[in-house]
Amino acid sequence: MTTNGTHPPPSAIPRDPTDPPDQQYLPDSWAPLLADLRWLDEQYNLGAFEAHRGEHVAAVSLAVVGHGRDLTELYERVARELGVPPGRVATVYVDELLFTE
């Protein structure tokens, strides 16, 4: 498991050798963003975002940097606070509860 903020984002993502030979990839410039997206999914599956049901959770450089129901406002707020492009902000939506006890 990746620990919050302790690993720098990668500059490139290793290719899967089982991929088809003509598989298309995003350029390596996307690697830090995709690492944040992967980290968000890991945290989601560990139950780290239970308190944010119905919200988007934002991460940059493997750390949670904000949350909120309004995605546009969240992008703009985090981008302004961190000085990064809104497109650099990774987010995951935490679904409303599907099941109750």
Which residues lie near another protein (CB under 8 A)? Answer: 13-16, 19-31, 33-35, 37-38, 41, 44-45, 54, 56, 69-72, 75, 85-88, 91-93, 95, 97-99, 101
Its sign, for the CA torsion 91, 97, 99, 101, is positive
Rounded-to-integer distance, Cα 11 and Cα 24, Å: 18
Q: How far is the CB of 93 from another protein (least distance, A)?
A: 5
Cβ distance to another protein smaller for residue 13 or 82: 13
Cβ distance to another protein smaller for residue 3 or 15: 15
Q: How far is the CB of 74 from another protein (least distance, A)?
A: 10
Cα angle at 48 between 46 and 50, to 5 degrees?
110
Cβ distance to another protein smaller for residue 6 or 22: 22
Its sign, for the CA torsion 37, 40, 46, 52, is negative
